[in-house]
Structure 1
Amino acid sequence: MNGSQPATDLTTVLAGDHRRLDRLCTELELGQGSPENRKDLADHLIAEVVRHAVAEESFVDGEGDLAEADGLMRELEGVGPQETRFERLLGGLIRAVRRHVREEGPEAVRQVRLTCSPERRAELGKEVTAARDAAATLPHPDLSDRMPQADQLWPGPGFVDRARAALRHAAGSPG
């Protein structure tokens, strides 16, 4: 072996999540696209944050930036893109996600490295990846035309809870 971590090592999975979340935040901060496209992209960010939170929740204190993001995501569920509070809530979500990526995320990766053997990290990474593949998720708006609608978990009231429950169910843990 060349000393690099396998693609399914949990630390690699979590670090990849952080990069993906950061890119989505940047895309939203650019402010391009119609309000409906921004709403779709915000829903995609929410889906990615939920997926990441479920994967990371065993290693991070739940009272941090992801808990703040969770409250903002729940508020955003029922807000239309033309409503004045949409951009305010979205900005708060982006700030919470960025703080997590910058501060809590690296600590979570460090905790995984400290508490899990390389074999266990590989096992956990495979479990997280399998759970994500088994649970329906919301694609990036640019990919929505490439995925059958029946396979997508559409947003709306209760979306955060439904996504979290689907991911936990796919992982075989209680919701």
Structure 2
Amino acid sequence: MNGATDLTTVLAGDHRELDRLCTELELGQGSPENRKDLADHLIAELVRHAVAEEPYLDGEGDLAEADRLMRQLEGAGPQETRFERLLGGLIRAIRRHVRDEGPTAVDEVRRRCSPQRRAELGKEVLEIRDAAKTVPHPDLADRLPQADQLWPGPGFVDRARAALRAPASG
């Protein structure tokens, strides 16, 4: 059994990455277009995380609020005044999740699943993520062919969820 694939390790790593991306956005650097790209990357990472964690949450709370904000943000251009307001709300919801709900979900996984099952689930999550096409970090966008990327825009959150929930092929 590999501890790196334990679902609790995967979820905790997600929380650290989401926190890091929020900090990067809070620094407020870069052009509006770069901030939009980084916000899209944050959304892709959050969707990937939420698909893995949702079975262990009650369905209400910070991830539900984040989902609502992501759907509004996907249609906002980086020059619009609502973009920064929505992004700020999304960052606050993510921070609350990482601080409050996230550790509860990790504890729930630990309580409900044996170490072997956690390893199986963690491996499944990582395999699905590897198989699903997603939006790369803006610094990596030029390194992946466009055909291998799931581009943002209207319906992005739903397309990302569908790609992650599809069975891994291969």
User: Are residues 1:127 and 2:115 paired?
Assistant: no
Partner Cα distance (1:147, 1:102) in 2: 33
1:156 matched to 2:153? The reply is yes
Cα distance between partner residues in 2 of 1:54 and 1:61: 13
Q: C-alpha distance in 1, partners of 2:74/2:130?
A: 23
Cα separation, 2, equivalents of 1:139 and 1:170: 21
Q: Which AA in structure 1 matches 2:135?
A: L
Distance 1:59 1:108 in 2: 5
Q: Give CA deviations for 1:5-25 in whole Å, capped at 9, x if unaligned.
A: 611000000000000000000
Decide which of 39, 44, 49 is 1:42's aligned counterpart: 39
Aligned to 1:89: 86
The residue correspondences of 1:15-30 to structure 2 (distance < 5 A) are 15-30=12-27
CA contact (8 A) 1:128 1:171 kept: no
Tell me how far 1:170 sits from its aligned partner. Answer: 3.3
Task: Provide the residue aligned with 1:169 in structure 2.
Answer: 166
Question: How many residue pairs end up in the alignment?
Answer: 169
In 2, distance between residues paired with 1:66 and 1:42?
Answer: 16
Matched, 1:116 2:103: no
Alignment-derived partner of residue 31 in structure 1: 28
CA RMSD of aligned residues (A): 1.2
Matched AA of 1:48: E
Aligned match of 1:106: 103
What TM-score, normalized by structure 2, do the two folds share?
Answer: 0.97
How far apart are 1:171 and its partner, in Å?
5.3
State the AA in 2 paired with 1:107.
Answer: T
Q: Could you say which residue in structure 2 is the equivalent of 1:55?
A: 52
Amino acid at match of 1:136: K
Structure 1 residue 146: Cα displacement: 1.3
Runs of 4+ with deviation above 3 angstroms: none
2:28 aligned counterpart, secondary structure:
coil
Percent sequence identity is: 83
Match of 1:74 in 2: 71
